[in-house]
């Protein structure tokens, strides 16, 4: 049973230190404030439908298109701060400007509200990049994945462009669920549940499994005790010690010695410790050889 407690203790320590490392990693990530940027690129958002004997068109501002793509850029605030009137600059740079064209765009703030985002300058294209400038009136801290600002681009093209987002006074990083406070909360709750399960297992083992196992293996323990007593008896006889004692007296001497030792250990146990051993108090007869 001692090996069981040892293994359980090792598991608890491992889980505990893993939890501490994850919490430290999370706190380190959020010590330097960073906004998470998520990008969703769908080149086939809308395609021109094909229908026989019908002239179906897909057009934008009077210009026919074969298909349209949707590029959505979302900013999530997983930091510990709430921001007000924060300028945000977004740059979308295609590999080949001739094969990517922004046809339309719009931006919204938290909960899809347009009033929470102000466009500082209209979209600019310098021949290489499309640039957007906004001021978000509120960018509140998100627990899960609540979007603080979202920019949607309707485009022509197939290949996803590179993206840069700059927010005044705070850095940015690629979106990850691992950065969210909710993820830390989930891990913390899972840790508490696991500790509760381990404690439950220990309690059940002590109160139920331990006593049952002790009762079931009692014949084996008695056999082992007899074998140990026999080895001591043979050693004493082989070394010609206690030669004044007869065989029966020596058997009783060995039994008394072992019983006294085990009895002292038993008496030192707590009531719970005794219960976990099935209240199996050592007896003199357990060590007396026939």
Where along the chain do its domains lie?
34-169, 184-286
Question: Does the pLDDT of residue 237 top 60, yes or no?
Answer: yes
Q: What angle do CA 143, 145, 149 make, to 5 degrees?
A: 110
Average the pLDDT over 39-45 and give the result: 94
Q: How many CA atoms lie within 13 A of 53 on its CB side?
A: 0
Q: Which is more confident, 54 or 127?
A: 127
Question: Which residues fall within 8 angstroms of residue 45, CB to CB, at 6 or more apart?
Answer: 67, 68, 69, 70, 154
Q: Which is more confident, 83 or 274?
A: 83
Q: What is the pLDDT of residue 244?
A: 85
If pLDDT is split at 50, 70 and 90, which confidence band does 43 have?
A: very high
Q: What is the pLDDT of residue 1?
A: 46
Q: Are 289 and 230 in contact (CB under 8 A)?
A: yes
Average pLDDT taken over every residue of the chain: 84
If pLDDT is split at 50, 70 and 90, which confidence band does 11 have?
A: low
Report DSSP letters for 194-225, one per residue: HHHHHHHHHHHIIIIIHHHHHHHTHHHHHHHH
pTM, two decimals, is 0.59
Give the CA radius of gyration of the chain. 38
If pLDDT is split at 50, 70 and 90, which confidence band does 160 have?
A: very high
Q: What is the pLDDT of residue 86?
A: 95
Q: What is the pLDDT of residue 123?
A: 96
Q: Which CATH number fits domain 34-169: 3.30.70, 3.40.50, 1.10.760, 2.60.40?
A: 2.60.40
Q: Which is more confident, 199 or 23?
A: 199
Q: Which is more confident, 86 or 200?
A: 86
Q: What is the pLDDT of residue 62?
A: 72
What number of helices (H) and strands (E) belong to the chain? 6, 11
Average the pLDDT over 114-119 and give the result: 95
Average the pLDDT over 145-150 and give the result: 91
In terms of average pLDDT, the best of 118-122, 203-207, 215-219, 235-239 is 118-122
State how far the Cα of 290 lies from the Cα of 276, in Å rounded to an integer. 30
Task: Give the CA distances from residue 24 to residues 12, 27, 34, 255, in Å, rounded to whole numbers and listed in that order.
Answer: 18, 5, 17, 57
High-pLDDT (> 70) share of the chain, %: 87
Helix, strand, coil percent content, the chain, rounded in steps of 5: 45, 30, 25
Question: Does the pLDDT of residue 57 top 60, yes or no?
Answer: yes
Question: Which residues fall within 8 angstroms of residue 140, CB to CB, at 6 or more apart?
Answer: 77, 82, 83, 110, 146, 148
If pLDDT is split at 50, 70 and 90, which confidence band does 30 have?
A: low
Q: Are 221 and 282 in contact (CB under 8 A)?
A: no
Q: Is residue 123 within a helix (H) or strand (E), and if so which, with residue range?
A: strand 117-125
State how far the Cα of 93 lies from the Cα of 185, in Å rounded to an integer. 37
| 191-217 per-residue burial string, b: 16 or more CB within 10 A, e: under 16 | beeeeeeeeeebeebbeeebbebbeee
Question: Does the pLDDT of residue 193 top 60, yes or no?
Answer: yes
- pLDDT tens-digit series, residues 238-249: 888 888 888 898
Q: Write down the residue that tokens 């004493």 correspond to.
A: 236
In the 8-state DSSP scheme, what is residue 39? E
In the 8-state DSSP scheme, what is residue 287? T
Q: What is the dihedral of CA 56, 60, 63, 66, to 10 degrees?
A: -50
- pLDDT tens-digit series, residues 63-116: 778 789 999 999 999 988 899 999 999 999 999 999 999 999 999 999 999 999
Q: Are 171 and 110 in contact (CB under 8 A)?
A: no
Q: What is the pLDDT of residue 15?
A: 64
Could you tell me the two tokens for 259?
């019983």
In the 8-state DSSP scheme, what is residue 170? B
């Amino acid at each position: 049973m001692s090996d069981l407690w040892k293994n359980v203790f090792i598991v608890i320590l491992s889980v505990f230190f893993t939890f501490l490392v994850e919490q430290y990693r999370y706190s380190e990530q959020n010590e330097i404030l960073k906004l998470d940027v998520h990008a969703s690129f769908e080149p086939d958002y809308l395609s021109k439908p094909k229908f026989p004997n019908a002239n179906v068109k897909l057009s934008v501002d009077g210009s026919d298109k074969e298909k349209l793509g949707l590029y959505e850029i979302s900013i999530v605030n997983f930091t510990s701060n709430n921001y007000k009137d924060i300028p945000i600059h977004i740059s979308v740079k295609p590999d080949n400007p001739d094969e990517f064209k922004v046809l339309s765009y719009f931006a919204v703030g938290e909960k899809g509200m347009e009033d929470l985002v102000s466009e500082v300058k209209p979209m600019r294209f310098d021949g290489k990049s499309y640039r957007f400038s906004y001021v978000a009136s509120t960018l509140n801290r998100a627990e899960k994945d609540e979007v603080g600002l979202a920019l949607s681009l309707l485009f022509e093209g197939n290949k996803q462009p590179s993206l840069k987002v700059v927010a005044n006074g705070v850095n940015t990083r690629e979106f990850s669920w691992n950065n969210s406070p909710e993820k830390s909360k989930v891990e913390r709750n899972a840790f508490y549940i696991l500790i509760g399960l381990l404690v439950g297992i220990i309690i059940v083992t002590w109160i139920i499994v331990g006593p049952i196992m002790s009762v079931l293996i009692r014949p084996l323990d008695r056999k082992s005790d007899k074998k140990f007593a026999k080895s001591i008896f043979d050693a004493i006889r082989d070394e010609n010690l206690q030669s004044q004692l007869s065989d029966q007296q020596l058997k009783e001497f060995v039994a008394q010695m072992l019983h006294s030792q085990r009895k002292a250990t038993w008496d030192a146990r707590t009531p719970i410790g005794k219960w976990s051993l099935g209240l199996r108090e050592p007896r003199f007869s357990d060590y007396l050889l026939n």
